[in-house]
Structure 1
């Protein structure tokens, strides 16, 4: 008999983002974007990932220019600063430990997002190289004399 907790896990809980699987990056990326759009201040969170964090405004005080403190930000700026942190947190929560260890030094959501994409997909050159290797392997793939159909399929 399944419990309510088991059903929540099976149906996909709404309070945690999807976990990245190495061969499923494109699917994970679209699910993460939808997850971000389902949060409060959705556009601001996604904008933080796509465009980068809030550029903190500066003020001049006694002839010295400095960045505003969090308490000095306008309401909209404070919400955007919070959304920057939320975006980073959402992305990090969706990573398995081995990927998290490689990217956790990045604290800006946009940099984190780009680094994960690079790790999962590589550069266009490495993508093309993998494709060429796959075509080469396919060209060499042939039936061996005496091999059963099951053996042929499983190799």
Structure 2
């Protein structure tokens, strides 16, 4: 997924990634990893919905348990519900919070954000796909651009295509990047076997470290 340009914030083990209404695909992946790292049970809550402790009522129907009827396991389930919701809320700016303020649980929040930032793009999806494919095909190094800036632009384009369902094999992306490097970089690139994607990614990393 494409990351915001000039993104400088470091990763945090205690603070959820922040979403300000742009680069949803990037935020979505980071938030998923953050929640899973916190507790995989929380991710189940986001995907499957909250666990509500229940019991059989006097008439034989299933009803929620009262507060004094909760077992330790019930309390853990309720705590997971609250924690998953709180993590998502803490990762949203004011505009996005207003969008989900009426949601009662983490799954509703997640689904609402997906609906707003992914599914509603479908009428314009083909146009967006064509736009980013064109950006990819015409990609070149700009005058005065550093190799790091060039790489950042390139990965942003790849990320946008991926978010629209147009994923590229990493080997193909590496070959494309190498093919548009200026002549002054040819001596630094020794990609003799471009079929080995992992080796090429390592090679690319070595190139950037030399910049």
TM-score band w.r.t. shorter chain: 0.5 to 0.7
2:65 aligned to which of 51, 63, 68: 68
Residues 25, 120 of structure 1: 8 Å contact kept = yes
Deviation at 1:59?
3.9
Residues 20, 95 of structure 2: 8 Å contact kept = no
Structure 2 runs not aligned, ≥5 long: 1-7, 135-141, 144-211
For residues 39-86 of structure 1, give each alpha carbon's deviation from its aligned partner in whole angstroms, at most 9, with x where no partner exists: 2xx12211110000113212446x686521233222222101110011
Superposition RMSD on alpha carbons, in Å? Answer: 2.8
Deviation at 1:10?
4.6
Range with bigger deviation, 24-33 or 76-85: 24-33
Report the Cα distance in structure 1 between the residues aligned to 2:33 and 2:68, rounded to whole angstroms: 31
Structure 1 runs not aligned, ≥5 long: 1-8, 140-148, 151-155
Hey, what does 1:130 align to over in structure 2?
124
Deviation at 1:14?
2.2
Report the secondary structure of 2:17's partner residue: coil
1:58 matches 2:55: yes
Where relative contact order (Cα < 8 A, 6+ residues apart) is larger, the structure is 1
Report the Cα distance in structure 2 between the residues aligned to 1:13 and 1:32, rounded to whole angstroms: 11
How many equivalent pairs are there?
Answer: 126
1:92 matches 2:98: no
Report the Cα distance in structure 2 between the residues aligned to 1:87 and 1:114, rounded to whole angstroms: 14
Residues 21, 28 of structure 1: 8 Å contact kept = no
Report the Cα distance in structure 1 between the residues aligned to 2:103 and 2:113, rounded to whole angstroms: 10
What does 1:1-12 correspond to in 2, within 5 Å? 10-12=9-11
Q: TM-score, normalised by structure 2?
A: 0.51
Report the secondary structure of 2:23's partner residue: helix
Deviation at 1:38?
2.2
Hey, what does 1:118 align to over in structure 2?
115
What does 1:136-151 correspond to in 2, within 5 Å? none
